[in-house]
Structure 1
Amino acid sequence: MGLLTRMETVFKSKMNKVLNKMEDPRETLDYSYEKQLELLQNVKRGIAEVTTSKKRLQLQRAKLLQSNEKLEKQARDAVAADREDLARMALERKAALQQQVDGIDREIAELEKQEEKLIASEKRLSTKVEIFRTKKESIKAQYSAAEAQVKINESVTGISEEMADVGLALERAENKTEEMKARAEAIDELMEAGTLEDLTGSKDDIERELAKISAQTSVESELARLKAEAGKEPEKEETEEEKKGV
């Protein structure tokens, strides 16, 4: 029994969460308002039925009173004609009809009381329904505003989280870029110092030496040209024999 009770409790809690997610308070309020309107309509229908019954009894009472007036006249005519027996018969019928009229009067009075109670109930209920309607619309408006605010806040939160991720990505990119710049500068310095060979170059060692000789020759040629323009004789280089004093 303990296990079954626990399973029942868990099931009810799960269902309660599902129902809470599915339930829309605005729909619940509208449904309650519709039910109150139905109740109010039932009360109004009851008033109409009581009023109809009262009107029917009043019409029946009016017919009985007409019959009584007719019997009263017949009794008078019978007395004038010295027909006491007919006068007595008319008066007996009149008395019976009067009893019916008295009964109808009691029923009409009872219906009037019911009618008054129903009308008072209808007025109180109408006031309550109108108050509920106003409050319902106010709550619905507040709920809609709160719902919109929640959606906005969720959107802002999502954007903030996304921007935070973008910020981290930018920071990582900047750090990586700075690291690559530092490595590039370090490699340039090593290549300029000759510590690191430029493996991407197309020249080998011989070509680099020939390039240096060509550059030196070009410099000497330019220097000789400048001296000639200045009227200075270019210095003759000593041969190996002169250097030996031969």
Structure 2
Amino acid sequence: MGILSRASYVIRSKLNAVLNRAEDPTETLDYSYEQLRNELQDVKQGIADLTTQKKRLEIQKRRLEENVEKHNEQARQAVKQDREDLARQALEKKKQKMTQIEELETQISQLQSQQDQLVEQKNELQKQIEQFRTKKETMKARHEAAKASKRVNEAMTGAGDEMEDVNRAIERAEERTEDMEARAQAMDELRDDGVLEDQLSDKSSLEKELDEVQQQGAVDAELDTLKAEMGKGEEPEPETDTESTGTEDLSESDLEQELASDGDVDVEAPEVSDGEVDAELEELKDDEKTS
């Protein structure tokens, strides 16, 4: 195979592949059906033209037959008048007309045969067209059903071009959302660590640091005052009897637990009678007088 032949073959194969991809079976079937109908119309038109031609020959034949009768009558009249020459002329014309009639009959017979053949072909073609129309509609229905099933399967599996675009859009949206969430978490972490300043605050980082030092100093001063009031200075406080004071010192762990609870624990108060309250009140009065 030469270079030109190979190039021509490759071009034809590529063109055929492009045409196959671009071809719509339903449109092809409709076009073929229209072509068959056009052919049927051409056959009908041919039958009509042939019939018209045959009718013209038949009309011409009838006229010749009328002329034959006319020439025959003329020959009779000439014989009655003893005009043999005129009778001969009339008979000659009669003979010519009869020869033409025979030729016309032959042509009419041929046209009739052609007409019968065209009518038979027309009926056969019309039958084929009806069968093709039924097959065409069936094939179109099958094609549409197959195409719908293909779209449904592609939509369910995500294999179609449109679903691929949708999946890509979802992936891009997820990536952007994850990036925004990661950035938001990073900004929160930096703001908590003090790396980033609050843009809504009118204080600088130095002022914030001074406020924190001042607040810490106020807490230390209040703690020293509390220690001084309770006699918890640098000198150790002598041990006291818990029974004489009537109070019990809290251990360090108990104190931490009490501070952690913030004193918000609800305790149900026991019921106390009025007599007990009066007796305790009289006791307090006697102790006050004694002191």
TM-score band, normalised by the shorter chain? 0.5 to 0.7
Aligned to 1:53: 53
Secondary structure (helix, strand or coil) at the match of 1:108 reads: helix
Aligned to 2:110: 110
Rounded Cα–Cα distance in structure 1 between residues aligned with 2:2 and 2:222? 97
Which of the two has greater helix per residue?
1
Rounded Cα–Cα distance in structure 1 between residues aligned with 2:56 and 2:246? 144
1:93, distance to aligned residue in structure 2 (A): 0.9
Rounded Cα–Cα distance in structure 2 between residues aligned with 1:151 and 1:80? 98
1:75-95 deviations in whole A, cap 9, x for unaligned?
A: 111111121221121111101
Aligned to 1:39: 39
1:8, distance to aligned residue in structure 2 (A): 5.2
> Aligned AA for 1:57?
L
**Equivalent residue pairs, number:** 204
- Output the aligned Cα RMSD: 4.3
Rounded Cα–Cα distance in structure 1 between residues aligned with 2:144 and 2:45? 36
Aligned to 1:76: 76
1:17, distance to aligned residue in structure 2 (A): 3.1
Secondary structure (helix, strand or coil) at the match of 1:69 reads: helix
Rounded Cα–Cα distance in structure 2 between residues aligned with 1:45 and 1:205? 113
Rounded Cα–Cα distance in structure 1 between residues aligned with 2:83 and 2:7? 95
Please list every run of 5 or more consecutive structure 1 residues that lacks an aligned counterpart in the other structure: 174-201, 216-222, 234-246
> Aligned AA for 2:106?
R
Rounded Cα–Cα distance in structure 2 between residues aligned with 1:108 and 1:97? 16
1:91/1:5 CA distance change after superposition, 3 Å: closer
Aligned to 1:120: 120
1:152 aligns with 2:143: no
Please list every run of 5 or more consecutive structure 2 residues that lacks an aligned counterpart in the other structure: 179-211, 227-241, 249-279
1:16, distance to aligned residue in structure 2 (A): 3.3
1:101 aligns with 2:101: yes
Rounded Cα–Cα distance in structure 2 between residues aligned with 1:93 and 1:10? 74
1:207, distance to aligned residue in structure 2 (A): 9.4
1:12/1:107 CA distance change after superposition, 3 Å: closer
Which gives a bigger RCO, structure 1 or 2 (Cα 8 Å, sep 6+)? 1
1:97/1:22 CA distance change after superposition, 3 Å: same
> Aligned AA for 1:35?
Q
Aligned to 1:199: none
1:7, distance to aligned residue in structure 2 (A): 5.5
Rounded Cα–Cα distance in structure 1 between residues aligned with 2:8 and 2:90? 81
1:37-95 deviations in whole A, cap 9, x for unaligned?
A: 12111111111111011100011011111111111111111111121221121111101
Rounded Cα–Cα distance in structure 2 between residues aligned with 1:126 and 1:99? 40
1:142-201 deviations in whole A, cap 9, x for unaligned?
A: 111111111111111127995xx99xx8xxx9xxxxxxxxxxxxxxxxxxxxxxxxxxxx
Alignment of 1:1-246 (within 5 A): 10-158=10-158
1:50/1:16 CA distance change after superposition, 3 Å: closer
Secondary structure (helix, strand or coil) at the match of 1:82 reads: coil
1:20, distance to aligned residue in structure 2 (A): 2.0
1:15, distance to aligned residue in structure 2 (A): 3.3
> Aligned AA for 1:88?
R
